[in-house]
Structure 1
Amino acid sequence: MKEASAIVNSPLEKQSAVFQAQKSFFNNQETKSYDFRKAQLLRLKEMIKANEQDIMSALAKDFGKPNFETYVTEIGFLYDEINYTLKHLKSWMKPKKVGTGLVHFPSKSKIIYEPKGVTLIIGPWNYPFQLLLAPVVASIAAGNTCIIKPPEETPHISNLVAKLFPQYFNEEFLAVIMGEGKVVVPELMQNHRFDHVFFTGSVPVGRIIAKMAAEQLVPATLELGGKSPAIIDEKTNLTVAARRITFGKLINAGQTCVAPDYLLINEKIKDAFVDELRATIMEFYGISPTESKDLAQIVNQKRYDKLKTYLKEGKIVFGGAFDDEKRKIEPTIIEGITEKDSLFQEEVFGPILPVFTYKTNEEALEFIQKNPDPLAFYIFTSNKKTENYFLDRVRFGGGSVNNTIVHLANPELPFGGVGNSGNGSYHGRAGFLAFSNEKSILKSGTWFDLRKKYPPFDQNSMKMIRFLMK
């Protein structure tokens, strides 16, 4: 493991100076034009392009991430998001004409999308580059200024972000505030009133962020987590399902908010499917997965030690080995988990996959509802009736049928949680809307003004209004 430079808390004086500078810059209408927004998005892409190798190197030092995985999930993802936003930004910015009822004649209505102002974006450690900057893309597109707080758990990439951004952006528009989240985030949020806060992270910290935002009536988008289930119906292609579940579960060593947290397998195919999983894991990572360069390490010692405690629960039917020096844990399949176990109650966030069985769809649904509102939901089936049964009854943020995690890579789809797994959504136009205020405008002509809609009212006034509003 490579030692990183320490993360230093940005002093209060800098926090206040940056906030006030961004407030003034925004109030001067500097960020509102299409040309300005386009230029900043292109500059962001230029920054990433020019520093791809440094970004991949930093993430390798923090995570041991393979370059292919880093490019797909951290860099290429952002290129797609920026390109999609640039393609559609001009149309998103246009006022939207909407209908107007006859009762308002002669009038017409529209919605203007205006930027909110100074935004705060707090990034997580599991995808510390992409999940920090994807909301920045949306905020820039909507015409805001941004203060971003990278995660302290991944010091190499966070220090690189702090180094690069001042080279490409003025702090009055986009600034980086560094430090421990538990210190600098309360300082930022309690001493300044932001116009929008965007947080990606755990449910417990999300509650704290929501409370601080609510105290100042600041709108907040919360991208949290939860126990995302994957159902394996008896009518599915087991080989394809095993590949797609293994990929979705083990990318980033399971440290993905939308990774399948546990499997619910129809008991008729349970043994056959577990065999497929074993074979697929060995195909992907070899007979000694901790030696594989394609399996990332666990982010830090605290998380590593926590994951190792899970290995003491239930019965390991595959894997279970670990490498303390490399901070790696083998992909592990565990059966026999009870409702009292941590693996049942907590989001796993690692390469450990609990397996449960069910007999009927009703039984599977009842099981899922014990950990409600997952961020993601996956169903593998060729039976349309079964597919619709679960999609109609399980409340979740987003998901896939016969696949895992890929739904979040489609900018046409809003990405976000529901209930315990979060509030609000982003990606593509949904991100633009999240950082915009939809200003409603009704404009009335003066060439006609019906007298009977004003006092004093008479019987004809009532007849008229009943005709118009019936």
Structure 2
Amino acid sequence: MEKLVKTQLAYFNTNTTKAVSFRIEQLNKLYQLLVSNEALLEEAIYKDYGKSTFETFQTEFATVYEEIKIAIRDLEQWSAIKPVATDARNAPAKSYQIPEPLGVSLVIGPWNYPYQLSLAPAVAAIAAGCTVILKPSELTANCSAVMAKIINENFEEQYFHVVEGGIAETTALLDQKFDIIFFTGSVPVGKIVYQAAAKNLTPVVLELGGKSPVIIMPDSDLEVTVKRLVWAKYLNSGQTCIAPDYVYVHQSIEQEFLEKVAKEIEKSDYKLENGNFVKIINERNAERVSGLINPDKVYVGGNFNVAERFIEPTVLHGVNWEDKVMKDEIFGPIMAVLTFDDLDTVIKEIKDRPKPLALYVFTKDENIQKKVMGEISFGGGCINDAIMHISNGNLPFGGVGSSGLGNYHGEAGFRAFSHYKGILEKEFTQDSDIKYSPHTEEKLQKMKAAAK
């Protein structure tokens, strides 16, 4: 690991990666490699947890392709010198910002979207001009192996390299000095990464998680709301960091909401055999998630098979904050439904807990939309939809507080892997003598007048 990092640092210091033409060339190369190896990548992810070709393209490739296309299109603009105004004390002069790559980057990817959440940050790092060491999750071993094959056989290790392995390899990587670390995963592991980075004062981007709430008001279009919400909740069997975790539905529409959810689940025909559902990543997680199901509160579903890593789409109703399902992020196909009659109470209950990665509100009332958006702190979200904000590469994506640190996607990703140098450029002209000795009362009064 030490040799690999030193090799990448030496290559970065040649300044090769700083040329915009080089970066665009590498992005095009990665794009072509992914397109030409889609079948191989699809086979690997199906082996890991039964993800279909349709869902793999929808939730993995489409986002990565979009990130690459946006970066190629806008990279000249992002990397250009950016002029800013010069203050009166320094006039006449030019002031500007120069974006520069941070250097050697470490990207640690998760298992739930093994391609999207590993490669999208790598795209941002390449666009910024960094070298990249990518460490995919060992839990999706087939995906990790195929990414290593495609990348390591086609890129020089001094520039872009995949390191496979588990905790030992990740720990060895974290012992090295990087210029930036990008991590996607759980809060506990995020804290370990943050502590490791702190030893070298290495900047980090942490994409974590948390319990992302949904608020459904009585004036929402329930047909549309339920269709969008059910899709978002059970996508990837609920193994999505921004999945709707729990739903606050106004008590006046609870029964209608539950009935429509049940019908939408039935209509969606979630089964492993038809490619419309995926397995839980492993038996340990299947056991954990199934243990959150209280049989007395099941409205729909509730059946599971830990050995088969299957939990059917489940809806729990009559839920409160004392229930086990409300203690931590669910990260599985369970929708927990709570009721409310006072929006201010809901807002307070959300704000009393760690800041969520996402929040979704369904209402036609613009005043309520503004109230929820303005009063609750969260990473990002949607009004009258769920999850889909992540698909817009022009929006920054990231958490706040315990749900994460920093943003990426589009220009936000470029910025995450860049440092902006502030430069003041002056000519060899005669300065005003106000800042120089002798320090007189007259000069002091002039400075005060100018400043005030």
Q: What is the TM-score when the length of structure 1 is the normalising length?
A: 0.94
Q: How does 1:61-460 map to 2 (within 5 A)?
A: 61-180=47-166, 182-190=167-175, 192-285=176-269, 289=271, 291-312=273-294, 315-324=297-306, 326-460=308-442
Q: Deviations over 1:241-273 (max 9, x none)?
A: 001001111111100000000100000000001
Q: Deviations over 1:160-207 (max 9, x none)?
A: 111111222100001111111x322221122x2100000000011111
* 1:322 to partner: Cα distance: 2.0
Of stretches 113-122 and 323-332 in structure 1, the one that deviates more from structure 2 is 323-332
- Measured in 1, the distance between the counterparts of 2:247 and 2:320 equals 14
Contact 2:102 2:179 in 1 (8 A): yes
Contact 1:313 1:337 in 2 (8 A): no
> Compared with structure 1, are the counterparts of its residues 370 and 465 closer, same or farther at alpha carbon in structure 2 (3 Å cutoff)?
closer
Contact 2:50 2:272 in 1 (8 A): no
Q: Deviations over 1:68-106 (max 9, x none)?
A: 110011111111110011000000000100011111112
Amino acid at match of 2:415: L
Contact 1:313 1:341 in 2 (8 A): no
- Measured in 2, the distance between the counterparts of 1:461 and 1:107 equals 22
Of stretches 443-452 and 197-206 in structure 1, the one that deviates more from structure 2 is 443-452
Of stretches 58-67 and 426-435 in structure 1, the one that deviates more from structure 2 is 58-67
- Measured in 2, the distance between the counterparts of 1:30 and 1:458 equals 52
Q: Deviations over 1:369-422 (max 9, x none)?
A: 243300000000001111111111111000000000010111111000000100
Contact 2:48 2:281 in 1 (8 A): yes
Of stretches 376-385 and 309-318 in structure 1, the one that deviates more from structure 2 is 309-318
- Figure out how many residues of one structure are paired with residues of the other and give that number: 452
* 1:232 to partner: Cα distance: 0.7
* 1:323 to partner: Cα distance: 3.6
**Does the alignment pair 1:468 with 2:439?**
no
Amino acid at match of 1:359: D
- Measured in 1, the distance between the counterparts of 2:382 and 2:255 equals 24
Cα RMSD (Å) of the superposition?
Answer: 1.3
Amino acid at match of 2:31: K
Q: What is the TM-score when the length of structure 2 is the normalising length?
A: 0.98
> Compared with structure 1, are the counterparts of its residues 170 and 291 closer, same or farther at alpha carbon in structure 2 (3 Å cutoff)?
closer
Secondary structure of the structure 2 residue equivalent to 1:269: helix
* 1:341 to partner: Cα distance: 2.8
Unpaired stretches in structure 1, ≥5 consecutive residues? 1-14
* 1:336 to partner: Cα distance: 3.1
The equivalent of 2:28 in structure 1 is 42
Q: Identity percentage over the alignment?
A: 39
Contact 1:114 1:438 in 2 (8 A): yes
* 1:30 to partner: Cα distance: 1.2
- Measured in 2, the distance between the counterparts of 1:291 and 1:444 equals 69
- Measured in 1, the distance between the counterparts of 2:434 and 2:376 equals 52
Contact 1:262 1:353 in 2 (8 A): yes
Unpaired stretches in structure 2, ≥5 consecutive residues? none
* 1:340 to partner: Cα distance: 3.2
